[in-house]
A and B are shown apart, each in its own frame.
Chain A
Amino acid sequence: MVNPRPATPAALDGLRVLELAGMVAAPFCGKLLAALGADVLKIETPMTGDPSRRRGPFPGDVPHHERSGTFLYLNTGKRSLTLNVDDPQGRIILGQLASQSDVLIHDIQPGRAAALGLDQEILSQIDQDLIVAAITPYGSSGPNANHIAYDINVFHAAGEGNLLPNGLALDRFPDRAPITAGSFMGSYQGGIAAAVGIAGAVFAKMGGLHGQSVDCSIQEAQLAIGYLPIQRLEAEGFVETRFSRFFRVGGVMPAEDGYVELLTLEPRQWESLGEFLGSPEWAAAERFEDPAAHGAEINRNVRDWTGGRPKDWLYHQGQAQGVPFAPYYTPKEVFENPHQRDRGYFVNVDHPEAGSYDYAGLPFRMSETPPSLERAPLMGEHNDQVLHSMGYTPEDVVMLARAGVI
């Protein structure tokens, strides 16, 4: 590993993972495994690398493939090997690496995976103990398996896209297209779901079972997460749309300096809200019991009231009085937030090319095997280390580079 790990044990110490993937979904999965101590070796295309290296943001807005925030964030704790898997020798090296790994994660759709020799049949011959996880938009089978798709396409093919922006569609934008969650949320969901399945297969392997294939469809991950409209239709015959899906009381409210979310789901919270508002007649507790009749009026009045107050005041004063308010924080407000700072959520990471910044940390803690965040690798940073350990001589490595294999 590049960086010395902390002295404490990690949950996945000793797990060897090969990652042949780009952008968000599968790399986020690899990042989670790396944070838990797995040795994740990322395979990147020579010269270009992971497409996220070109995405930015870049320090000072100067594009540079070693300074892209998207790459730096999604590839913490990994090693990097550049390898042309379309080259015959490249595929041999990939096969050798796979035979020394516990898990191969890739995001290659089945048509191309088969062409690369990545289908399970071939890989299972390499090593009965390998776990092969394919994290692809539509999974490894079915009529759409080879459909080209980006984050936005999967998000709309999985159902949640059609339901956003919820009731705003009705209130403000009846004629506009449904939207996509920001910041590639659906891809992160796909990556986390895949990590659950992979960890399960690792657990089974630790218990003495062989490896196996784990077919992770990002569409199905989002569908599993967003199962509720499917169940409402199946069980109640109700077809949810973005025009019908909204909280009749509460929701997004304006504040003096932005927006807040207000959600009163329980009777005691309505009562608290009424008191918080100064007990006006329109917010009497019984009015909340018939949201269809009174919700619109309550919301209209609440908006007038919150609109003149700062969001952090609404948040802290509201919560102190039992009213569930939450501010819509901007990136700056998240970055400087006292709560997450107090939790040590942000982690300073120093990178030889990009510099030193506070990164968003891991969203969970483990008391005995704490996850850790270490810097992302330079492109091909570990070529020599990896190839030498496989028995290639320094001269071989030069030849492999000249031949465009690495």
Chain B
Amino acid sequence: MAGGMAGEARRTTGPLSGVRVADFSVHAAGPFAGLMLAELGAQVIKIESSARLDITRRTHTMYGKPPSSFEQINANKMSACLNLKEPRAVELALELVQVSDLVLENFRPGVMDRLGLGYGTLREVKPDIILVSLSSNGQTGPDRNYAGYAPMFAALGGLGHLTGYSDGPPVELRHGMDHTGGMLGAFAAVAALCAKRGNNLGQHVDVSLRDMGSSFIGPALLDYAMNGREAIRQGNRDESAAPQGVYRCRGQDAWVSISVASEVEWQGMLRAMGNPVWAQGDEFGDAFRRWKAHDRLDGLIDVWTAKHTPSEAADLLQNHGVAAAPSLTPDQLLSNDHLLERGAFPKILHSEKGEQKAVAPPWRLSRTPAVIDQWTPDLGENNLDVFHGILGLSASEVKRLQEAKVIW
């Protein structure tokens, strides 16, 4: 027993407490949406099966052994098994839908229909059900059935093209794209819950992660619409600030980010650097000149930052009103004073591994706190809770269905 929720217990603290979610999603984007809803207090039941283990449950060539690093993605949830190839399992899934508010899935379009769990069917058994579908390309359009993973959404959407060194290839945006899609799915889900609470409306929500990639480059797309100009990646630079960059500091692979967006900030930076001689003249006297001479300027700044550790440089610059922050590594994040003081890494007891740090929910809600307090449950850990406790099957019937590989 890794985590899991006892009995029919509902989560009590978050704004979504009382909401029940049937989560059929797999891999990263969908489960992350479910995680956000669970952190906000929804009772999220992960429906999964030994017949087709979620990628985070099995040894994987790319990811290695069933990684304990996936403990977080299905945290706070219950796990119930259904082998959806069995008609009785589909019936049970529909019974669960009848007592749920929202269904989450991220299969390719059409798969839920083939499973007998399409929106039309769900609506027949529960007229105000909300179905949230996350997919690479959306539920419509000629590419809808194409496979997609995180870096591919960013590539297709145009965000990948805009990330990277100006003289290098585009850069893969990794699992963050999946999870951001999950965050977006969680937003659409909660908005649909509001519509349901306000107007008793159920509906089908279609979240496209490729469209999300495009929605992050809205201004670049307008630049093309307005001027026919194609924006290109430019490393750490941005036209709104000069200098701006990530600069080498004292220490092994140590870096500080700096961004100077105004004349006042530039003056502050000069003071922080001890008013260097090279900045006395007009060469870097305004943002335009600094932008035009950015390469040379970066070299001069590097000489100064190289004398300091990232936090020394950042502190000096902050003291003079300049935006600067160390480029933090995972171990530095876990020991970061600010994050620790804010409780960004709550400890959760793991039955086998003892206390392990999780990453906190990204909101501090004063009246209805969001929490993460239980690790990903074991496969089927809550079979009895769900099928006996919630759906009312007898314990012996649950056992029989387990033996028949329906609850499996």
Contacts and interface: CB of A to CB of B under 8 A. Distances in A.
Given A156-B327, A197-B362, A330-B230, A182 B204 contact: no
A368 B201 contact: yes
Interface string A255-273: 0000111010101010000
A210 B226 CA distance: 45
Given A178-B255, A329-B161, A332-B230, A234 B334 contact: yes
B316 interface: no
Contacts of B327: 156-157, 161-162, 177-178
Interface stretch (A51-59, A85-93, A391-399): A51-59
A158 interface: yes
A357 B148 contact: no
Contacts of B323: 147-150, 153
Given A179-B235, A196-B183, A345-B211, A329 B62 contact: no
Given A179-B165, A209-B367, A291-B62, A166 B16 contact: no
B329 interface: yes
A152 B259 contact: yes
Contacts of B255: 156, 162, 177-178
Q: Which of A14, A197, A223 has the most CB of B within 10 A?
A: A197
Contacts, number: 515
Given A172-B168, A173-B168, A32 B187 contact: yes
Interface string B154-175: 0111111111110011111111
Contact of B342 (A139, A182, A330): A139
B28 to A, nearest CB: 9
B366 interface: yes
B324 interface: yes
Interface in B160-208: 160-165, 168-176, 179-180, 183-188, 190-195, 197-199, 201-208
B68 interface: yes
A252 B171 contact: yes
A22 to B, nearest CB: 12
Contacts of B368: 200-201, 204, 209, 212
Contacts of B364: 139-140, 213-216
Contact of A363 (B179, B208, B236, B361): B208
Q: Would you call the interface of chain A mostly helix, strand, loop, or mixed?
A: mixed
A340 interface: yes
A227 interface: yes
Interface stretch (A39-47, A320-328, A378-386): A320-328
Interface string B12-34: 00111010000000000000100
A200 B223 contact: no
Q: Which of A159, A261, A368, A369 has the most CB of B within 10 A?
A: A261
B268 to A, nearest CB: 9
B141 interface: yes
B218 A360 contact: yes
Q: Which of B139, B193, B253, B365 has the most CB of A within 10 A?
A: B365
Contacts of A59: 226-227
B297 interface: no
B293 to A, nearest CB: 18
Nearest to A33: B191
Given A180-B246, A220-B344, A367 B204 contact: yes
Interface in A51-98: 51, 55-61, 69-70, 72-74
Nearest to A69: B222
Q: Which of B68, B160, B212 has the most CB of A within 10 A?
A: B160
B290 to A, nearest CB: 15
B40 interface: yes
A168 B168 contact: yes
B62 A147 contact: no
B338 A144 contact: yes
A261 B183 contact: no
7 contacts: A11-B191, A157-B328, A162-B328, A183-B217, A231-B68, A234-B356, A324-B148
The 7 closest A-B pairs by CB, nearest first: A182-B162, A197-B363, A235-B68, A326-B152, A69-B222, A212-B367, A204-B15
